[in-house]
């Protein structure tokens, strides 16, 4: 939209009309192009300064929401579990859809291609609180839907492998991969 309409963020609207301006605002595009943009970030334990220490990691694990946890479900055959743990970010990347991210073009499709029968695959994707792409409920819903359609359902149908996804929000003021991996793998 920026290039097509000649929009200069914080400058001028180019040829954008009211409809395009409203869409720009709804998508929070100003925040996408301006890293100094302030987004509301809801407070959540642990103390952000302890996020790289044992107590901070334990606090982060304890603060996980139910949808950020995977466990063997009652009534299912408990086979060996392979956990794939990774961090995802949109920092320094400008993608507007899942198809623009290597997570959805390379990594997650490789799980579908390489998973073996007899195992259950649990995928944990950690992301920073405040990430302009991943910390957005609309995008998280699209990610869950994409995973179900492109990884979980085909694996179940083709190989009888159950694949599950947990999206884990991480407090990461350092904006480095370490705190995310610590929390996702704990």
Q: What is the pLDDT of residue 106?
A: 92
Average pLDDT of the chain, as a whole number: 80
What three-state secondary structure class fits 9? coil
Nearest to 171, CA basis, from 41, 83, 54, 35: 41
Q: CB–CB of 142/99 below 8 Å?
A: no
* 90/104: higher pLDDT: 104
Write the pLDDT tens digit of every residue in 150-179: 999 999 999 999 999 999 888 777 777 777
* 97/74: higher pLDDT: 97
pTM: 0.67
Q: What is the pLDDT of residue 32?
A: 65
Nearest to 174, CA basis, from 63, 68, 87, 86: 87
Look up tokens 């595009």; give the residue.
29
Q: CB–CB of 171/60 below 8 Å?
A: yes
Report residue 90 as tokens: 């949109």
Write the pLDDT tens digit of every residue in 18-54: 888 888 777 767 666 665 665 554 444 444 445 566 7
Look up tokens 């991480």; give the residue.
170
């Amino acid at each position: 939209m920026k290039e097509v309409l000649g929009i200069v963020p914080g400058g001028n609207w180019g040829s954008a009309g009211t409809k395009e301006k409203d869409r720009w605002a709804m998508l929070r595009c100003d925040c996408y192009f301006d890293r100094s943009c302030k987004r509301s970030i809801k407070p959540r334990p642990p103390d952000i300064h302890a996020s790289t220490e044992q107590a901070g990691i334990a606090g982060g694990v304890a603060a996980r929401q139910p949808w950020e946890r995977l466990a063997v479900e009652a009534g299912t055959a408990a086979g060996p579990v392979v956990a794939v743990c990774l961090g995802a970010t949109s920092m320094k990347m400008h993608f507007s859809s899942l198809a623009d991210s290597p997570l959805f073009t390379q990594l997650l499709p490789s799980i579908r291609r390489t998973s073996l029968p007899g195992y259950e695959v649990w995928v944990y994707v950690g992301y920073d609180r405040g990430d302009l792409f991943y910390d957005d409920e609309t995008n998280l819903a699209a990610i869950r839907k994409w995973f179900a359609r492109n990884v979980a359902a085909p694996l179940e149908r083709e190989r009888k492998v159950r694949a599950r996804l947990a999206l884990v929000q991480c407090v990461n003021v350092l904006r480095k991969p370490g705190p995310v991996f610590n929390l996702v793998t704990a």
